[in-house]
Amino acid sequence: MTKSFLTIWCNNDFTPAQEAERELLTKGVGAHRLLLFEPDDNGKDGAALDALRSADIAFGSPEARAASDCERLRWIQLNTAGYTSYDHADIKEKLNARGTRLTNSSAVYDEPCAQHLLAMMLSLARGLPLALDAQRGGRAWRMHDLRPGLRLLNGQTVLLLGYGAIARRLVELLGPLGMDVVAVRRRVQGDERVRVLHTDAVDELLPTADHVVNVLPANDQTVNFLNGERLARFKKGAILYNIGRGVTLDQTALLNEMQTGRIAAAYLDVTTPEPLPPGSPLWTTPNCYITPHSAGGFSLEKRRHVEHFLENLRRFESGAELLDRIY
C-alpha cells in the first residue's frame, strides 16, 4: 500500500470530556490530513459531504449512500458493530466495484456485550432481580420462596441466533459453566468452536433451548425474525435475551408469550422504538428486564474506537488484512 499522505474524514463523537481520545487520534494519524466533523454531520450534505468526497478514508458513521457515491473513498471504518445501512446489495456492489473496503468496530464491543449477557444470565439464574425487588420494596426476607427456584447454568442449553464477534466471545465465557451451546448463522464456516447450523434449522432448535440469545443484526432477512410463530415454539420456561436489534423481535408477540408463561423471562437491551416509550407495557411486565442499549458501553469505549482505527490504519498503510472487515 502506498505511503503517500491520505485524507481522513471523521465524525466520531468526541465529547468535551474525551479530549484525550481526540488528541490520541490526531497524533496517531501522523502526517495524514484529518478532517473532523460533529456526529450529526454524517456526510449526507453540506461541508461534510464536500469533505467526504475528497477523502481516502472515512472513520465514524458516514451516511451509507453518500459514502457509496464518493469515488475517492478506499476504506470506511464504522464506529459501531452494526452496519445495517451498508447491508444492501446496491451499496455493496458499488463499494466492491471500486475496491472500497468496509470495516466495523466489533472488536470494541464483543467483550462488553458478552460480559453483559453473562451477567444477566447469571443474575436471572440466581434470582438477583427478585432479591433486589424485595430489598427495595417491603424488605421481606424471602429465603424460603426464593431458594427453591434458583438454578445452576451447568448443563443447560443455549441457542445463539447469530455467530459474530459477540457470540464467539460469549461462547468463551460460558465454557467453564459446561453449558450446551448451539448456534445458527447464514453462512456456516465449519471451523466454529460450537455446533453451528444454518439459520433454516432455528425452528427445530427453539424447543430445545433453555436460553435463546439474539445477537442478529438488522437487515431485510431479520426483521421480526422472532415472530409470534417462533416465540410460540420456545421451550416452556425458556429465557430470551436480545442485544442485537429491536426490529428482529416482535415485541407484541413476546408480551403474549410471557403472559401465558411459556417464556419465563426476557432481557432486552434493544427495543423498537428507542428510547422505549414510558407507556410501553414492557416496562411493567413481570420478569421483563430492560437496559437502555447499554450492553456495549464501558469507560474506555471511545479510546478503544480510536485504538482500533489506528491499528487498522497501520494495516491499511502496509497492505495487510484489515480487522473486522465486512467486505
Query: Is 116 considered catalytic here?
Result: no
Question: CA 283 → CA 1, 117, 125, distances in Å?
Answer: 52, 19, 21
**At 197, which helix (H) or strand (E)?**
strand 195-198
Query: Is 229 considered catalytic here?
Result: no
Q: Give which of 292, 267, 257, 263 is closest to 277, Cα–Cα.
A: 292
Select which of 245, 257, 305, 308 is catalytic: 245
| Per-residue cell: 11 | 465524525
Q: What are phi and psi of 195, to 5 degrees?
A: -65, 125
Within 8 A by CB and 6+ apart from 29, the residues are 8, 310, 313
Cα 58 to Cα 35: distance, rounded to the nearest angstrom? 9
Strand partners for 101: 75
62 touches 42 (CB < 8 A): yes
One-letter amino acid identity for 214? N
SS3 327: coil
Query: Is 301 considered catalytic here?
Result: no
Cα 321 to Cα 327: distance, rounded to the nearest angstrom? 11
Select which of 32, 74, 262, 293 is catalytic: 293
Select which of 23, 172, 204, 274 is catalytic: 274
242 touches 212 (CB < 8 A): no
Catalogue the active-site residues.
245, 274, 293
